[in-house]
Structure formats: structure tokens, C-alpha cells
Amino acid sequence: KAGVTQTPRYLIKTRGQQVTLSCSPISGHRSVSWYQQTPGQGLQFLFEYFSETQRNKGNFPGRFSGRQFSNSRSEMNVSTLELGDSALYLCASSLWGPNQPQHFGDGTRLSIL
Amino acid sequence: SQELEQSPQSLIVQEGKNLTINCTSSKTLYGLYWYKQKYGEGLIFLMMLQKGGEEKSHEKITAKLDEKKQQSSLHITASQPSHAGIYLCGALPTGTASKLTFGTGTRLQVTL
């Protein structure tokens, strides 16, 4: 069974640009969550999607957005990139939601110059 | 909001030694996840604890949940270099619509 796939693995952008990250969950999983991980703040919840609907959102500015498609694949978008957005972005999937073990992808390392 | 504090923040142990990592919650724990992360990679699910007093083991790793103390401990017996990494606890949400909160992490190094 294929795991959670995140693309791209590495990304370099400059301030002011926008970026889109992709996540393909494990087959059959309908819940997809996104996290940001930085050395200073640790692992922080961005948002969770289930059946194409955002069910929960963390404390991030509106520049961070996401969506989920009918096949459960998800994308997250960050607009007007700032230096502080440099981080490892992790996606996790589960059958129904975060009260079940979540399976993580290897992440996308985003560097802002 | 719920906060999870892990201790110690980092740990260096000699191969073959035992070690314990603690995770303390600021609010009632209804359950807890333990994950392991290799640097720059995704999290690997270790185990989930759902009941007070519950104890689970996987290979040489044992975790226990103490609801009254709002705390969980993860114990590694006879540590090996393969145990090195960052260990993270995560508070189990109370419903499918709730978000998962992670601890601050414990970095483990195992020396030969």
C-alpha cells in the first residue's frame, strides 16, 4: 500500500512569490491534515480537510490556504511568501480524522530567499 | 488551548542503556500518540494510547498513559543507534473535527 506522497520534496522561492504544495493521501483515506514544522515553533497545525471541506483551521494568516479534491488529494497554497515561511510542510492522512493514527508524508522543505 | 511539554528536550545515551521520555499536558488527556521523526523527514507512528493506565509495547519501546497526572511516558530498553531521532507526543483530539496538538519534541542521540 503506497504511503502519503508529497511533492515537491524541496522548493526554493523568493519573498513575495506564491507556492503550491501537493499531497496524495493513502488510498481510502479521506482526512488530510497539513502541518508546519520549524525549529523555533515546532510542529504546528495548519488545517484539516475531509470530503473536500475544511473542518478545522490553525492560527495562521489568510495567506495560507488549502483545498481537497474529490479523490482526497490535497493542495496547500501560500501567497506573498515571507522569510518566516521557510519550514518543513508535512501532510498527514487518516481514514476519518485526527482521532485516528495519522500517516505522514516526508514533507516539502520550503526555503524562502 | 492544550499544550504538551516534553522532557528532556534532548538526550544522549550510550548504546544498550535504557531511557525515558515524558510528555505532560496542560489539560486532560483523552489519549495520546507517540511518533518518531528522522531529521527532515516525516513522522512515523509508534503507538496510540486511549485509556488511563494503558500500556503498549512495540519491540523495545513501551509507552504508558497516566490520565490523572495528565502525562505519558515512553521508555526504550537497551537503546540502539536505530532509535536515534526526534520523539513527539500528540494529544488525541476529542472529536473528528478537532485538531491534533504536538509536543515540543525530544531529540535522542545514541552513541556507540
Q: Do B96 and A98 touch (CB under 8 A)?
A: yes
Size of chain A, expressed as the number of residues it contains: 113
Which of these, A37, A27, A23, A6, lies nearest to A68 by C-alpha position?
A: A23
- Give the pLDDT band (50/70/90) at residue B20: very high
Type of residue numbered B56: K
Size of interface A-B (CB pairs under 8 A): 67
Residues of chain B contacting A97 with CB distance shorter than 8 Å? 93, 95-98
Whether pLDDT at A6 is above 90: yes
Instruction: Identify which of B44, B88, B96 has the shortest CB distance to residue A43.
Output: B88
Per mean pLDDT, which of A17-31, A92-106, B64-78 is the most reliable?
Answer: A17-31
Nearest residue of B to residue A109, measured between CA atoms: B40
CA dist A15 and B108 (Å) reads 35
Residues A6/A21, Cβ–Cβ less than 8 Å? yes
Type of residue numbered A109: R
Q: What is the mean pLDDT of residues B6-13?
A: 96
Q: Which pLDDT belongs to residue A43?
A: 92
Residue B44: count of CB within 10 angstroms of its CB = 13
Average pLDDT, chain B: 91
* Per-residue pLDDT reduced to its tens digit, A44-96: 999 999 999 999 999 999 999 999 999 999 999 999 999 999 999 999 999 98
CA dist A23 and A33 (Å) reads 10
